[in-house]
Amino acid sequence: MRSILRRGRVWDVSDLPGESLTTAIRTTLSCAEPFAVVLAQRGGEDWRALIDPSLDDLHSPFLLDGMADALDRIQLAIARSERVFIHGDFDADGLTGSAVLYRGMRSFFPKNSIKVEVGDRVHGHGLSKPFVLRAIEEGFSLVLTTDCGISSEDEIAQLKQAGIDTIVTDHHLPTGSRPDAVAIVDPHQPGDTYPNKHLAGVGVAFKLVCGLYERMHQPMPVHLLDLVALGTIADLVPLSHRGESENRAFIREAFTLIARGAGSSLGLRALFAKLSVNTKKLSTMDIGYLVAPKLNAANRAGDPKVAFLLLITESAEQAEYLAEILIDYNKDREIAQTDMIAQADEQLRDNGVDPRDAGLVFLSGEYWNEGILGLVASNLSDRFGVPAIVMSRGDRVSRGSCRSVGSFDISACLHEHRDLLLQFGGHRMAAGFTVANENVSELEERLLEYADRHRPEMEMRAASTIDVRLQLNDVTLRLFTNLTSLGPYGPGNREPNFLVEGCSFEDLTLVGNRRQHLKGRVSQGGHSASFIGFRMAKYLEEFERGEDVSLVCHVGFDDWRNDVQLRALDLVESSEL
Ligand SMILES: [Mn+2]
């Protein structure tokens, strides 16, 4: 089904689930048909677990392989008052994971016996040589990892040789052989049967702390959930999979906690305030687009330690100050990004080749900020509609970051040219690599040639999905309330898209301070409902002309009128159905 408003945009309507299941759900809940359909589509027979997940839906930490061994070792460390060194990764997931381990373990240890290192871009992901040396030099006897460690085999072996035990908590896929750690907690380990395979790094860290609290006969440390929610949203892990909704339970509980002004992190609260985030009505978008980027700015254009300190500080004054620094880092990051994009555009002009003709953007600059390469590659691939590779040229080695478009698999592309690369990794849409400088021009030549051969894949845009058809008489407050029980929305749990077929529009007006939004009523078969299209003023004419078209929309709520309201997303031709 083609969009009337946006060229090249295509919608597919999902298949209806089995009628008996939908009917069973509808009678059980006495709810509108479209809601029953969405539940059946997403949860199958496990549909009940999708509704309002809460703390009761969390799984026992002891279902994770390695949990008992990890806790035995931590309890031994508590009994012996050992000194513990925590290593986390420097992104939002690793930072919140480190903060959860630190805050969750601190009270069981003597003062100042837990130290945290969050790494940095220079040393890359995972444990590093300097970290190992420090652990040895400073006399630690136990190392804990969070959001990393599963592939730090060499470093963990070195620690062991020096008499230091390691407990790995991670959520990455195991790559090589099993590190020689005292315990490994990672839901992706072979043989692990933990029900929620999509825990973020911070989720695994939280499970470890929950296990510890259980062993120490203390109630679950729910106050840490603000940190768990932040890392889980920032890491883009699926929030639901079939009925399994533990990640959503974390976030729902955290949002309730934060709305009450509670939660463990004073710093996070200070950051919310400075960013004017409405904590009474938090959404995953606020966290994903406003808050998490400020933490990540620290590793791109500042010092990740500042972000970690913000998450653990207990002084309101320091929280204010650190939040301010993070916001400054983010401004620096924006300036650096704008500057690098300008340099990239200048190079493209100098080359005189339109990337759209070449099929690939391939650019590099001397000592470009490696924390920003990926953001710039994203900008270029978005603008030109072709994959983009942006590299920072060092003295002997260049480091590249790649972003893809359509169904072009950038990881497969790197894999095919691995003979030229020193290191590479990533997935379909985003990847990174290092290459010796003397191989750069051959790499460019071969990648351009490869891109040319795989041109059609770049044009292939995945169709967006309409979940279910909606009759306007089903648009009730009840339906809206039912739908809120499916939140929060995010990866793996998209907000349901509805299709109102054969409708027309009236009372169309432009609203908003720049009259950028389109508002009105939609009618279908004798029923009507109010709708708003955010930033859709430019489509006024298409809506006015719309006769017997179909509206793609979300079911939302209008705070002013205190009533249910459709949120327009697109218009499609009815005749095409
Ligand atoms: Mn992670």
pLDDT for position 575: 64
**546 has a pLDDT exceeding 90:** no
Q: Ligand 1 centroid to 236 CA: how many Å?
A: 9
Mean pLDDT of the chain: 94
Q: Ligand 1 centroid to 235 CA: how many Å?
A: 6
Any idea where the domains of the chain sit in the sequence? 11-46+464-576, 61-317, 353-459
Mean predicted confidence (pLDDT) in 191-218: 97
pLDDT for position 7: 80
| Chain segment 9-64, per-residue pLDDT in tens | 889 999 999 999 999 999 999 999 999 999 999 999 999 999 999 999 999 999 99
**577 has a pLDDT exceeding 60:** no
Structure tokens at 77: 């460390």
- Asked if residue 522 lies in contact with residue 505, where contact means CB atoms within 8 angstroms, the answer is yes
pLDDT for position 110: 96
Q: Ligand 1 centroid to 238 CA: how many Å?
A: 12
> Was domain 61-317 assigned CATH 3.40.228.10?
no
| Chain segment 243-294, per-residue pLDDT in tens | 899 999 999 999 999 999 988 899 999 999 999 999 999 999 999 999 999 9
What angle in degrees, to the nearest 10, is found between the helix axes of 92-106 and 292-301?
A: 100
3-state secondary structure 342-393: HHHHHHHHHHCCCHHHHCCEEEEEECCCCCCHHHHHHHHHHHHCCCEEEEEE
pLDDT for position 199: 97
| Chain segment 211-256, per-residue pLDDT in tens | 999 999 999 999 999 999 999 999 999 999 888 999 999 999 999 9
Mean predicted confidence (pLDDT) in 101-125: 92
Q: Ligand 1 centroid to 294 CA: how many Å?
A: 17
**Architecture of the domain made up of 11-46+464-576:** Beta Barrel (2.40)
Q: Ligand 1 centroid to 406 CA: how many Å?
A: 25
Q: Ligand 1 centroid to 92 CA: how many Å?
A: 8
Structure tokens at 20: 């008996």
pLDDT for position 553: 98
- Put simply, whether the predicted model's pTM sits higher than 0.85 gets the answer yes
Between the alpha carbon of residue 312 and those of residues 110, 223, 299, 309, the distances in Å are: 17, 13, 17, 5
pLDDT for position 263: 86
**CATH topology assigned to domain 353-459:** Diaminopimelate Epimerase; Chain A, domain 1 (3.10.310)
**Per-residue confidence at 554, pLDDT binned at 50, 70, 90?**
very high
Q: Ligand 1 centroid to 570 CA: how many Å?
A: 34
3-state secondary structure 128-192: CHHHHHHHHHCCCCEEEEECCCCCCHHHHHHHHHCCCEEEEECCCCCCCCCCCCCEEECCCCCCC
What is d(CA 485, CA 38) in angstroms, rounded to the nearest whole number? 12
Q: Ligand 1 centroid to 234 CA: how many Å?
A: 9
Q: Ligand 1 centroid to 93 CA: how many Å?
A: 5
pLDDT for position 378: 95
| Chain segment 487-506, per-residue pLDDT in tens | 999 999 999 999 999 999 99
- Asked if residue 277 lies in contact with residue 286, where contact means CB atoms within 8 angstroms, the answer is yes
Q: Ligand 1 centroid to 230 CA: how many Å?
A: 12
Q: Ligand 1 centroid to 148 CA: how many Å?
A: 8
Q: Ligand 1 centroid to 127 CA: how many Å?
A: 14
What is d(CA 1, CA 272) in angstroms, rounded to the nearest whole number? 41
| Chain segment 382-404, per-residue pLDDT in tens | 999 999 999 999 999 999 999 99
> What percentage of the chain has pLDDT greater than the value 70?
99
**540 has a pLDDT exceeding 60:** yes
Q: Ligand 1 centroid to 171 CA: how many Å?
A: 7
